[in-house]
Amino acid sequence: MSEDHYFSAQPASADERRLITVSLAGRDVEVETAAGIFSPGHVDLGTQVLLRHLPPAPSGEVLDLGCGWGPLALTAALRTADARVTAVDVNRRSLDLTARNAERLGVAGQVAALEPDDVPANLQFDAIWSNPPIRIGKEALHTLLATWLPRLAPGGEAWLVVQRNLGADSLARWIADQGWGEVTKVASAKGFRVLRLIRTAG
């Protein structure tokens, strides 16, 4: 599988859009996807595992870090009108799809799909939901997490899903060592671990 979607702002593959039916927030919905983005044919298995363990109704400011076509951002907005969701990705096709899917599902007013640099610098998050881009490599991943996890408000929670054989346990240890808060391995299923960070440090 080509993984240029992980690294390129503009994927090389043809931007042919298609509709797929997926289950999000307990209902079947149609969303738009395209080649050149992560998991264009279905809700990724790791994302499904994460969705099963997330708190039911986030409120306040929610960040979907690495949004793809938007399954996490859309779920947050569909679950509660109290969530204001910022969805970031480096892949512009993913951002366009997330914005269009939010429109399609009637939650455009709750979802802002933004390039990372366009997120207001003073915005803090009550929740961060992410199936992070592990394959960008350890150093880049650490830099990414060090950019966003400290932006959790005190008491805020980051929920991450990571494949066990791609270093979930060492990532959990690394996050715990940063002093941002308390890390728990909340669940383990289908080869994935769900990690939760509760922000305690300022």
Ligand X SMILES: C[S@@+](CC[C@H](N)C(=O)[O-])C[C@H]1O[C@@H](n2cnc3c(N)ncnc32)[C@H](O)[C@@H]1O
Residues binding ligand X (CB under 6 A): 5-6, 38-39, 44, 47, 66-68, 71-72, 88-91, 94, 116, 131, 133, 136, 144
**Residue whose token pair is 């363990």:** 53
Q: How far is the CB of 180 from ligand X (least distance, A)?
A: 18
Identity of the residue, 9 or 154, whose beta carbon is nearer to ligand X in the bound complex: 9
CB nearer ligand X, residue 16 or residue 182: 16
Q: Using CB positions, name the residue nearest to ligand X.
A: 66
Give least dist CB 143 to ligand X, A: 8
Q: Which is nearer to ligand X, 5 or 199 (CB)?
A: 5
User: Measured from the CB of residue 134, what is the shortest distance to ligand X in angstroms?
Assistant: 7
Half-sphere exposure of 50 (CA within 13 A, CB side): 24
d(CA 156, CA 63): 11
12's tokens: 């090389």
User: Measured from the CB atom, is 117 or 202 closer to ligand X?
Assistant: 117
Rounded to a whole number of angstroms, the minimum distance from the CB of residue 200 to ligand X is 25
Torsion angle defined by CA atoms of residues 193, 64, 158 and 3, in that order, rounded to the nearest 10 degrees: 40
Nearer to ligand X, 44 or 198 (CB): 44
Tokens of 6: 């992980």
What is the H or E stretch that residue 161 is in? Answer: strand 152-163
DSSP-derived secondary structure letter, 137: -
Closest distance to ligand X from the beta carbon of 101 (Å): 11
User: Cα–Cα distance between 13 and 153 in angstroms, integer?
Assistant: 38
Range list of H helices, 31-164: 45-53, 71-79, 92-104, 138-148
